[in-house]
Amino acid sequence: MEDRLFIESFEGDKGTAEVYELHRGQPLGVEKVDYEVDFAGDTYYARSIGEASLIAAELSGDRRFVDAALWAWRRTQTSP
């Protein structure tokens, strides 16, 4: 049995991408967790929430990770 849980929506210049967490029951009671990104009628799969978030941000044009990375990089370039 598979459960699909909505995690977050990413909105940007290119549209909206949605991230879902997929829980799949496995033999012996082990549960497998993967992530799914839905964008413009296409589905992409990822092994971690971080990977899924980066894919969703890139597809949608959401700049939250790009802006944060640039901010962190700029901090390393300034002298104390």
Tens digit of each residue's pLDDT (9 = 90 or more) over 10-19? 999 999 999 9
- Which residues have C-beta within 8 Å of that of residue 59, sequence separation ≥ 6? 10, 14, 15, 17, 37, 39, 40, 44
Handedness of CA 65, 11, 38, 42 (dihedral sign): negative
HSE, side-chain direction, 13 A CA sphere, residue 66: 10
pLDDT mean across residues, the chain? 86
pLDDT of residue 4: 93
Tens digit of each residue's pLDDT (9 = 90 or more) over 64-76? 877 766 666 666 7
Q: Model's pTM, two decimal places?
A: 0.77
State the average pLDDT over residues 6-34.
Answer: 90
pLDDT of residue 25: 76
For 49, the 3-state DSSP assignment is helix
pLDDT of residue 71: 66
